[in-house]
Structure 1
């Protein structure tokens, strides 16, 4: 019995479309989405990092159903679990990760966040590794996107 040729061997015996490599890209994309949030571009870049071509990665990502608004909300929540963000800072971070402005804004606005407390965490973090005057720290927090009121509250919480 003759050996199958390479292109035929890459086809899925189960009848799914695409080469074995394309099917693997789809499987890996799904696996990644099981444990972390990705924007469309971020997921394509991750698959490329794993060795898939841009064409394979793009086709894989576009072949699965993903709610990127939900992914943005998940990413925003994950960010808030390990560091402090202002509203605008969190939206900008999500945009940097490849989420659309609409998805990033909707995700952040859908969260219940006390930005005064976020400012307090940020102020404490700054003071843990650097020295600031009271006004300098307030100014830094405002620069990061906190309102004047949030920044002042945050600095007040540090006792500075």
Structure 2
């Protein structure tokens, strides 16, 4: 039995195969680019830590201590560190390099508030913004606790 496949079907299959190969290549290139960017960001972070002043290193250590037991917004953490006497430069360095996920911090702070007292959804968002979270972080935090 001799099966002949029309040229149009063969061409369509070749085109589909070429499309799949091109998509795979684009995905591989995007993954390589993302990996390279992540490696560059990590290298820059390591360089920043290596070249940090003693005050910056101490502020970073203190920031990590704070975040281990309570939630802070980015600006709230800077303000707390400045209150303790760290310079704005050191406090900002610490907030930039402490590894905090600010959305996660907003969710933790939202949960802390709800555990303590009652809030309307908007009232909780407003409180988080007052604490220094962005509107987007506050919305995320409130949604993350199911409100």
- Whole-Å separation in 2 of the counterparts to 1:32 and 1:49: 13
Residue 58 of structure 2 corresponds to: 24
Structure 2 matches for 1:1-160, cutoff 5 A?
Answer: 16-113=50-147
Displacement of 1:16 in angstroms is 3.0
Shift of 1:66: 1.3
| Per-residue deviation, residues 59-80 of structure 1 (Å, max 9, x unmatched) | 1211222110000000000001
1:84-115 deviation per Cα after TM superposition (whole angstroms, max 9, x unaligned) = 100000000000001011110111122235xx
Deviations 1:125-160 (A, max 9, x none): xxxxxxxxxxxxxxxxxxxxxxxxxxxxxxxxxxxx
Q: CA RMSD in A?
A: 1.3
Question: Residue 50 of structure 2 aligns to a residue in which SS?
Answer: coil
Bigger proportion of residues as helix: 2
- Structure with the greater alpha carbon radius of gyration: 2
Structure 1 unaligned segments of length 5 or more: list them: 1-14, 114-160
Runs of 4+ in 1 over 6 A off after TM superposition: none
Distance 1:75 1:64 in 2: 17
Q: Distance in 1 between matches of 2:137 and 2:146?
A: 16
Aligned twin of 2:12: none
Structure 2 gap segments, 5+ residues each: 1-48
How many correspondences in the alignment?
99
Normalised by the length of structure 1, the TM-score is: 0.59
